[in-house]
Amino acid sequence: VQLQASGGGLVQAGDSLRLSCAASRRTFSSYAMGWFRQAPGKEREFVAAISRSGGSAGYADSVKGRFTIARDNAKNTVYLQMNSLKPEDTALYCCAADPWRSGSYYSTNQHDYDYWGQGTLVTVSS
């Protein structure tokens, strides 16, 4: 599956952004999906993940309460709504697909994801 992330940009602290990740396959609902980010000079880290049906989701502590992950299987798209953005949220955000976890499961481990998009850059100024 090919993934195309979009929606990044330059915003001020406190602003909101919605990232989108469009998948190429009609079997999109067969994948649990995740968002990860990598800030300059840092390792890639987990942000949020959602199960195949969208019935369950998980978040990194650093974004809990501010970010919301959602998916629309009819549109083959997963979203990341980011509110109350902080300068420390500045990073390249990538979406990824996990074909292995089914039902209500999702993974926070990047090594469980087989397919990755190219990423979209989010820059938050103070």
Q: What's the whole-number average pLDDT of the chain?
A: 97
Rounded CA separation 6/26 (Å) = 19
pLDDT digits (tens, 9 = 90+) for 22-45: 999 778 999 999 999 999 999 999
pLDDT digits (tens, 9 = 90+) for 47-85: 999 999 999 999 999 999 999 999 999 999 999 999 999
pLDDT mean over 1-30: 95
pLDDT mean over 86-112: 97
CB atoms closer than 10 angstroms to residue 105: 14
